[in-house]
Amino acid sequence: MKSANILVVDDNKDFADIFCDILKANKHNAQSCYGGEQAVKKVQQSPFDVMFVDIRMPGMDGIETLKQVKKIKPDTRVIMMTGYSVDEMVHKAIEEDASDIIYKPFEIDKVLGLINGTV
């Protein structure tokens, strides 16, 4: 399994940090940040293979974050996260070229499969 450079973006700091710890325990290089503006700055500074972005965040939401990231680094795989099952923002994320949508709470094995391209 190849190690991926991953950014987790979620306004829930505890969730983002724990998710990062799990990714690191699975041999990935993972960082967390807690909002869209911060995520865009990080993408401008260094490339990420995969980003996990919460759809609903205060300030710059996940959809706007996705749009900005795709302008800067079009090849970045952006996987949107949501705790809401049916949501117009989910449809918008797909229209804006999100790589995938995962629903919280999710199974870490599925997430690892997405990162490794095996799902």
3-state secondary structure of 73: coil
- Overall fold of domain 5-116: Rossmann fold (3.40.50)
Q: Is the pLDDT of residue 105 over 60?
A: yes
**What pLDDT, in 10s, does the model give residues 30-80?**
999 999 999 999 999 999 999 999 999 999 999 999 999 999 999 999 999
User: Per-domain residue ranges for the chain?
Assistant: 5-116
Tell me the CA distances in angstroms from 29 to 9, 49, 73, 75, one per residue in order. Answer: 14, 10, 18, 18
The pLDDT score that the predictor gives to residue 48 is 96
The pLDDT score that the predictor gives to residue 117 is 75
How many CB atoms neighbour CB 70 within 10 A? Answer: 16
The pLDDT score that the predictor gives to residue 39 is 98
* Closest by Cα among 26, 25, 15, 17 to 83: 15
Look at 86 and 59; give whichever has higher pLDDT.
59
